[in-house]
Amino acid sequence: MTGALAGKVALITGAGRGIGKVVAERLARDGAAIVANYAASAAGAEQVVSEIVATGGKAFAIKADITSFDEVKAMFAEIDRQFGRIDIVINCAGVSAGGALADVDEVQIDWLIGVNVKGPLFVASEASKRMGDGGRIINFASVMAEYPMAGTGIYTACKMAVKGMTESWAKELGKRGITVNTVTPGPTSPGMMDNCPPGYLEHFQQKSPFGRIGTAGEVAEVVAFLVSPAASWVSGTHILAHGAAIPD
């Protein structure tokens, strides 16, 4: 393959649907070999792989629940076996849920912290053992970590944790030529907004001067820049892709 990412291997978590699927397709177009991680969306991940392979690229799909360190380690062992290297990690998998403070739900909290915080940490930890100069780690935060809304406390806290990990890892891994950044989407489709309760979509559309929500393709373009050689001096930052929308 030719392109800015030719010869590179990119792991995208949550590549079977939503933003992660579009990011996987986008980085493949820049020439990266793709590892399409999924937990439940096997069909979506296999579709991404088929399309990439059909156009001459390299890719495989792999099931791993990122909340399990054992499953993450097994995923990296398979990446070692099939591709022998890892250059780019996109920690895209994420889950959101909300509710009133008085209705706190311990199972839901553990799930949110597991997927949104422990998962990216496990993945980045394994990646850090293998990555070299020019490596790239992209974490996904949310506009909720910039402008928290009522009822989103735990999700917001998780995404603020992601920003903190990004800044710390950027300092640790920068010594080895690896950049670490956060992409911070506003409401985006396809993605988790597609199943939001009635009225939410219209609410968020009105918050942007563009009068719409973002597309996963627009978010993927930000990722494509950050993982490219052109972004070698961008690290430890949080890039908003939210169409100037301030939710409340």
Ligand X SMILES: NC(=O)c1ccc[n+]([C@@H]2O[C@H](COP(=O)([O-])OP(=O)(O)OC[C@H]3O[C@@H](n4cnc5c(N)ncnc54)[C@H](OP(=O)(O)O)[C@@H]3O)[C@@H](O)[C@H]2O)c1
Min separation Cβ 176 and ligand X, Å: 25
Q: Which of 66, 79, 165, 222 binds ligand X (CB under 6 A)?
A: 66
- Using rule CB under 6 A, residue 120 touches ligand X: no
Specify whether 155 is catalytic: yes
- Using rule CB under 6 A, residue 243 touches ligand X: no
- Residue 31 or residue 64: which is nearer to ligand X going by CB? 64
- Using rule CB under 6 A, residue 93 touches ligand X: yes
Q: Which of 65, 167, 218, 221 binds ligand X (CB under 6 A)?
A: 65
- Residue 8 or residue 242: which is nearer to ligand X going by CB? 242
The single residue listed with the structure tokens 């991940």 is 45
- Using rule CB under 6 A, residue 16 touches ligand X: yes
- Using rule CB under 6 A, residue 187 touches ligand X: yes
The footprint of ligand X (CB under 6 A) covers 13-14, 16-20, 38-41, 65-67, 92-96, 115, 140, 142-143, 185, 187-188, 191-193
Q: Which residues are catalytic?
A: 155
